[in-house]
């Protein structure tokens, strides 16, 4: 690809028909060319060097019936994780206020379920938690597993702005990671979220033993969603002892940078979230990720159940990079 062709790509309109071959061509560009392409699109579509600060709280931990091979919360695996029942409304609100005081504008709540209950006190608690957090002025996101249409409608009515439901990987490799629910199950939940009027938060994980072709397959799926997900978390696998992926080989940091850069090209207006795995990333790796398209990070020393950099470390990094936290 020539320099002029790169310039032309920066000006391309949003597309919903990228093929795997095209995505592969972008991903495998010489790194300087890929950085130029992705950063140009990022600056054009997301000006101001802004970064959204978010917080993610596990409001119900462990005991999940799904067998996602990366997840310490699965009841299928023996890990050191201690289960925890549903937090009460007051505790959730306390944690939301703490996150807001740290500078977060988005508060995400996650519960380890195949799907949430469809009625009863626990379901009412979920809806009340959403209302209470929204009343603080925070953007509300939830990730609770698969949803019925009624549940999606109720969450929207309660004030949930975004619903997270990741595809994780390509349709082909998915079967090596999860067998207790199908890829189509996930796509159906995303469709219900969209129909309810919530924004879609959907991304994946790199470093699970997948081939690069599987990363292209994930991005193809995300690109073909119309509209594109407004929010796209890109996670690097956090290996947890006791899970099937605990012995996975580490990926080179440049592979993560390539993934985020390619995501920026094929999903030009989505907010890319640099998510799990940052404890294993150098400042230089994180800096490159922000240059090529990441526009959000999670505050707090824990992401659901795995480690995350301290708030002080993140504030220092943001200042060092000259990024501007969204208000």
- Give the residue numbers annotated as catalytic, written as ranges: 64, 68, 71, 108, 141, 201, 273
> 301: Cβ–Cβ under 8 A, 6 or more apart, which residues?
307, 308, 309, 310, 311
- Per-residue DSSP letters for 13-30? PP-S---HHHHHHHHTS-
Tokens found for residue 87: 């937090």
Distance between CA atoms of 205 and 226, rounded to whole angstroms?
21
Neighbour tally for 63: CB within 10 Å:
14
Q: How far apart are the first and last CA of the chain?
A: 39
Tokens found for residue 222: 């995300």
Rounded to 5 degrees, what angle do the CA atoms 298, 304, 310 make? 45
Instruction: Judge contact between 199 and 162, C-beta under 8 A.
Output: yes
Instruction: Judge contact between 40 and 279, C-beta under 8 A.
Output: no
Distance between CA atoms of 300 and 287, rounded to whole angstroms?
19
């Amino acid at each position: 690809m020539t320099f002029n062709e790169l310039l032309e790509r920066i000006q391309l309109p949003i597309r919903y028909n990228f093929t795997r071959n095209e995505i592969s061509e972008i991903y495998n560009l010489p790194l300087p060319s890929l950085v130029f392409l992705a950063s140009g699109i990022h600056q054009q579509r997301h000006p101001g060097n802004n970064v959204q600060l978010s917080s993610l709280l596990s409001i119900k931990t462990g005991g999940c019936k799904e067998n996602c091979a990366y997840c310490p919360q699965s009841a299928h695996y023996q890990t050191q994780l201690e289960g925890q029942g549903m937090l009460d409304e007051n505790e959730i609100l306390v944690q939301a206020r703490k996150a807001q005081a740290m500078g977060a504008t988005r508060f995400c709540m996650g519960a380890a379920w195949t799907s949430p209950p469809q009625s009863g006190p626990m379901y009412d608690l979920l809806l009340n938690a959403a209302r209470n957090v929204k009343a603080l002025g925070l953007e509300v996101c939830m990730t609770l597993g698969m949803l019925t249409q009624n549940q999606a409608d109720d969450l929207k009515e309660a004030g949930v702005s975004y619903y997270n439901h990741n595809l994780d990987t390509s349709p082909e490799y998915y079967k090596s990671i999860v067998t207790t629910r199908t890829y189509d199950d996930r796509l159906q939940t995303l469709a219900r979220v969209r129909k309810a009027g919530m924004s879609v938060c959907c991304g994946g994980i790199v470093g699970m033993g997948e081939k690069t072709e599987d990363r292209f397959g994930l991005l193809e799926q995300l690109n073909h969603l119309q509209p594109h997900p407004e929010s796209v978390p890109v996670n690097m696998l956090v290996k947890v002892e006791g899970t099937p992926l605990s012995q996975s080989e580490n990926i080179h940091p440049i592979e993560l940078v390539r993934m985020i850069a390619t995501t920026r090209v094929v999903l030009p207006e989505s907010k890319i979230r640099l998510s799990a795995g940052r404890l294993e990333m150098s400042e230089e790796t994180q800096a490159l990720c922000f240059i090529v398209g990441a526009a959000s990070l999670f505050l707090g020393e824990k992401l659901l159940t795995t480690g995350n950099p301290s708030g002080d470390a993140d504030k220092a990094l943001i200042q060092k990079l000259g990024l501007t936290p969204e208000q």
